[in-house]
Amino acid sequence: MTPVVSVIMPAFNTGRWIQKAIESVLDQTLTDVEVLVVDDGSTDNTVEVVRGIRDERVRLFCQPRNCGVSAARNRALDEAQGRWMAILDSDDWFARRDRLASLVALGEEHNADMVADDLYLVEDDKDYAWTTLFSEKKLRFEKPQWVDLLMFVRHDLGPIKPLLRIDFLRKHRLRYNENLRFAEDWAFYVECLLADGRLILAPWAGYAYRMRQGSLSRGVLSLLNQVESNLRHYLEDHRLKAYPEVLAVLQKQLAMVRENRRYYRVMAPLKEKKLARALVELAHTPDFIWLFVRRLPRIVSYRVRHRLVRLDLPR
């Protein structure tokens, strides 16, 4: 039987979390699914954990070496047999048992090519969220919301984890850019929208996004460099000439990314307790104190909400 949804799951050294991710798919009320796990050269027990799951809906593919998340997702897309492709990172999980059924129904009802819901943001080793993606992006709506390219870039919706029609992706030959190891989702969704993909958002949250301790701080400068490269690429893309408002937003985001990079050039080594390096970067960043003071209210708010806010996940 052809599955309704192919869940693609790249994996690299996530043996600690991947079983929960896979089980959250197998436990969905929509049972016509397949889980395509692409191990990207793991050196832990990821492969053994996947092989230990006895369910014919789980298919494992092993890359010959670490090729990056984009290559792993493309491999899964090539193998997918479903009508819809769902994205699930191997350290996250589906928080609602009816997530796939609800999103497929919404996508079919509105003839969408892409359909996504809100994300719970969950600290590692916690069983509750401290906020959701839409809340952080100041997005508030009670009914399904269509999203065009302008709204997507204005609200920086790259972190969403949508379902996408596989025939739409194959018709337009849409694939992940394998030169990208950071911010590859954002670029992929932009390409989908430039191909006239119809994206609709559901107002509920059904995906649990695990914020692993230290993962952002270790790679923040590489991430910012890639984001800057993505923004410069699309600012020079002739297709964007038809979207002057989008270009204006991207230009503002480029300025913000460059400001953030100046800030983290000092802050990243400080967090790693590399004082000598931080002092060298501080000498080359004369506006650091101003950048820090500007961010201080957000830093305080972030820490307070982490301690005081508790959003229980669906059971």
CA distance 34 to 142: 31
Tell me: the pLDDT tens digits for 217-236? Answer: 458 899 999 999 999 999 99
Average pLDDT over residues 31-55: 96
Query: Band of the pLDDT at 290, cuts 50, 70, 90?
Result: very high
Dump pLDDT digits (tens) for 165-222: 999 999 999 999 999 888 899 999 999 999 999 999 999 999 999 987 655 445 889 9
Q: Residue 105: which pLDDT band, with cuts at 50, 70 and 90?
A: very high
67 close to 182: Cβ distance less than 8 angstroms: no
Residue 175: closest CA among 50, 292, 71, 266: 71
Between 70 and 1, the higher pLDDT residue? 70
Q: Is pLDDT at 77 greater than 60 in this prediction?
A: yes
Is this structure's pTM higher than 0.95? no
Are the CB atoms for 296 and 263 separated by under 8 Å?
no
Mean pLDDT of 284-289: 95
Please report which residue ranges of the chain form alpha helices under DSSP H. 18-26, 46-51, 69-79, 99-110, 133-136, 149-154, 166-171, 184-194, 215-235, 244-271, 275-283, 288-308
Q: Which residue has the tokens 């337009």?
A: 172
Question: What CATH code would you report for 5-211?
Answer: 3.90.550.10
CB contact at 8 A, 48 and 20: no
- What does the DSSP assignment read for 219-272? HHHHHHHHHHHHHHHHHT-GGGGG-HHHHHHHHHHHHHHHHHHHHHHHHHHHHT
- The full set of domain ranges for the chain reads 5-211, 215-312
> What pLDDT does 217 receive?
47
